Structure 1
């Protein structure tokens, strides 16, 4: 892990909000866990909805953007490996 660090963030997406634009995870692998609400993951022309207690991996092949199509806030924990500053 030399030259890298483990990063953890709590991300809130308000109703109608988007976490984007389209982005990749090349060189920044991680995982996401949903705490509240529902997050729609858009990738490869498909959408998948994740609710509380669910999550997904993000690897070098991940190219996506996220959306909260619900009427309550969505909260996720995102953990990834990033280059050190």
Structure 2
């Protein structure tokens, strides 16, 4: 059974919006989109799920504290402080904190105005 089939729902996650930029007023053709920066905290045993994609919502993640396990394509990869990863249209994944301390990441992505 793959990771994607047993993904638990989100729990133990706090998301804080840090900043946004209206891209429509900055870049021609980007009307209706914004650049968003968030701080995501995943408590020990926490899960950022369920499985989700990033089609139309590309971004990058950088881990500040703790270790985040990224599950995608049946593989699990641990990312610790000072490491990041891209999230593009081919990303289909979920995240968890298997550690004993809170994991904190900075997530920057392009989203449609909500």
Which interval holds the TM-score relative to the shorter structure?
over 0.9
Of residues 67, 73, 77, the one that matches 2:102 is: 73
What residue number does 1:64 align with?
93
Number of corresponding residues:
85
TM-score (normalizing by structure 2) = 0.73
Structure 2 unaligned regions, length at least 5: 1-29
Aligned-pair distance for 1:2? 1.6
Aligned-pair distance for 1:3? 1.3
SS in 2 for 1:14: strand
What residue number does 2:113 align with?
84
Runs of 4+ in 1 over 4 A off after TM superposition: none
Of residues 67, 72, 83, the one that matches 1:43 is: 72
TM-score (normalizing by structure 1) = 0.98
* Structure that is richer in helix per residue: 2
- In structure 1, C-alpha distance between the alignment counterparts of 2:94 and 2:113, rounded to whole Å: 24
2:37 aligned with 1:4 = no
- In structure 1, C-alpha distance between the alignment counterparts of 2:72 and 2:86, rounded to whole Å: 13
For residues 38-67 of structure 1, what are the alpha-carbon distances to aligned partners after superposition, in whole Å with 9 as ceiling and x for unaligned?
A: 000000000000000001000000000000
Aligned-pair distance for 1:79? 0.3
